[in-house]
Amino acid sequence: MTLGFNRRHMLTLLALGGAAALAGCGGGQWQTEYQPAGPSARDWSLAGVDVTVPANLTVSEDNSVYVPKADIVWQAEAAGDRRAQVSRILQEGIAAGARGLKGPRRVRFRVTLETFHALNIKSRKSAPKGTGV
């Protein structure tokens, strides 16, 4: 069985395992949303994870500003295909977060990335001591 999921469902699943943290940018403010899984999730078990990273999302390698204006900001791995890197991160995080789902109903998560922001090098190097960055 295939179920459609929106961004909120994806974040709910990630909160299950605490394996991945996503920060979405919306309305000019940083947001992170974690909500417990609803009662229907108790019947689920993971059949698979499909992640789509649209080709029209912008990617930034800009280190001249603290918050680059782009859909994807990811520099914690060697330079390469950032879309493929964040797709793998999401697939692994969702799968890890869903490990505890042991119900009889097989579900497949189909996730479409809208925004993926992490710290760029400038922000990471400028973070105040004691912030964990």
User: Consecutive 10-residue runs of the chain (133 residues): their mean pLDDT?
Assistant: 52 45 45 74 93 94 81 88 95 92 94 87 77 64
The CA distance from 47 to 115, in Å, is 25
pLDDT at 117: 83
The CA distance from 23 to 9, in Å, is 14
pLDDT at 130: 72
pLDDT at 21: 37
pLDDT at 3: 52
pLDDT at 126: 81
